[in-house]
Amino acid sequence: MASPPPPEPTPAAAAGLESMEGLALDTVISKAGPRPAAALACASKRLRAAVADDSLWRRFCADDLGLDAPVDPEGRPLPSFQVAYKVWLESFGMYPLSLVKRVKEFWGSMKKWLSENFPEAAKTLCKGVSEAQLKSAEDDLGFKLPMPTKLLYRFCNAQLPFSDNDEANVRSSTHGIIGGYAFYDYWVNVHLSPLEQIVEETKQFYREFPDVFNGRKFIIVATSWFHPKTFILNCSNGELYVGTNNLPVGEMLPCVPKALVKPTDTDLPQDGLLLWLEEHLRRLQNGMIKTRMLLKSRYISLYPEAPPLCTSAMTNGVKVRASAVFVPEHPQTQGHERSLLYTYSIRMSVPEACMLGGVYYSSCQLHSRHWTIRSRDRVVSVVSGEGVIGQYPVLSPGRDEFVYESCTPLPKGPGSVEGSFSFVPGKYVLILQ
């Protein structure tokens, strides 16, 4: 909602301010805030001159909008901070300015991280949409979008949509800013959908599953081009979900705890999409998740890279790191019972040298591995064999980590995978007969 016009200062109040010295007057106007300041400018020439001080509006722009330069929402320079504040208020005055600042800072930080670490994905980001475009999308959908989601799209219309050109889609399919994972021939990489794609895919979604989703205010906010993984936002309560392999019958899993999504009377409006994206950005910034290479393309890998979500062990100079990711959209059964699929990533390296029996070696080679897989403390599988995914990597200092991904099904409930690798010093020749 637009803010009410500032109250006119009373003659007595204006007269009292007139008698103040410069610094005291600046302090009072600064603490009063931008709207009362604008009203004071109408009271007298002296107050108008005090309010016109651009250092005052620099503080207002920094505090309310997070601006460190006088620019418009498109980033174009403006003549002063006072003009900048007016332009931003005209563009975003229908939203709480603290929420505008929060979303603006999110996109600024996300674009900075992408430009420094993943420029291929940064190039897919689109210019923000207008209020008129948002209104048109809401009319097409038949319901309102949550306020934080609308602001997200005002600042950036997510990523370029997939096209009818399969070759172009293959080239850009790993550039999703939501990221994904890859194991064997199963690849998932999720793109944040632009507004026009949201409307199109949401309508298609309702047509495909009319008995499950019609009448519910859901939109598809993110998806992948191959092996589809879908993120769904409930516009009624702001909750964000990821679809499972049973999505056709309505099964979804919450991405953000309800307690975080539902604001109190004193909190800003927020929804699961904004909260999830902010947490995703924090994980990118602190190195919990990073980019990796997939064939010849870079992508954001969701396999955690740091504790406590990534475990690490060093034995005889060989370092092994491991982490896992739940794969909700992958269909998986064990016999007549449904199970859950997890993909795990193993990284092996020799940081300095490997050692055996007090002797140091410059390299070593993987020989075999042994895994014990448990669900609710019950052993459900024991896996032993030579090599990993058909490979016998040689590790030595200075080489990149050897990385491989695999997967395992688990019955519903908490589970664990633990095991060991056997290495031989130097390297050996495997003879196949």
Contact in structure between 270 and 238 (CB atoms under 8 Å): yes
Helix (H, G, I), strand (E, B) or coil at 319: strand
> According to the model, what pLDDT value does residue 430 have?
43
End-to-end CA distance of the chain: 76
Q: In the structure, what pLDDT confidence band is assigned to residue 18 with cuts at 50, 70 and 90?
A: low
pLDDT at 167 over 90: no
Amino acid in the structure at residue 181: Y
Amino acid in the structure at residue 184: Y
Non-local (6+) Cβ contacts of 112 within 8 A are none
Architecture of domain 304-425: Sandwich (2.60)
Cα–Cα distance for residue pair 403/422, rounded to 1 Å: 16
- Flag whether the pTM goes above 0.75: yes
pLDDT at 96 over 90: yes
Cα–Cα distance for residue pair 121/113, rounded to 1 Å: 10
**Quick one: what percent of the chain has pLDDT higher than 70?**
83
Q: In the structure, what pLDDT confidence band is assigned to residue 40 with cuts at 50, 70 and 90?
A: low
Third-level CATH fold of 97-285: SMI1/KNR4-like (3.40.1580)
Cα–Cα distance for residue pair 68/347, rounded to 1 Å: 42
Cα–Cα distance for residue pair 101/111, rounded to 1 Å: 15
Q: pLDDT tens for residues 202-225?
A: 999 999 888 887 778 999 999 998
Burial of 7 per CB tally in 10 Å (0-12, 13-18, 19+): exposed
pLDDT at 346 over 90: yes
Asked if CATH classification 1.10.10 holds for the domain at 11-92, the reply, yes or no, is no
pLDDT at 429 over 80: no
> According to the model, what pLDDT value does residue 214 have?
76
Q: Which residue has the tokens 């989703």?
A: 213
Amino acid in the structure at residue 338: R
Contact in structure between 374 and 424 (CB atoms under 8 Å): no
- Give the helix ranges, DSSP H, for 66-194: 81-92, 97-117, 119-122, 131-141, 147-155, 166-172
Reference 294, options 158, 170, 124, 396; nearest CA is: 170
Amino acid in the structure at residue 253: L
Strand order in 311-315's β-sheet? 311-315, 318-326, 340-349, 402-410
Domain ranges of the chain: 11-92, 97-285, 304-425
pLDDT at 332 over 50: yes
Share the mean pLDDT of the chain.
87
Residue 397: asked if its preceding bond is cis (omega within 30°), the reply is: no
Q: Are strands 156-159 and 125-127 parallel, antiparallel or unpaired?
A: antiparallel
Of 13-22, 150-159, 265-274, 351-360, the one with minimum mean pLDDT is: 13-22
Reference 391, options 410, 366, 408; nearest CA is: 366
> According to the model, what pLDDT value does residue 426 have?
78
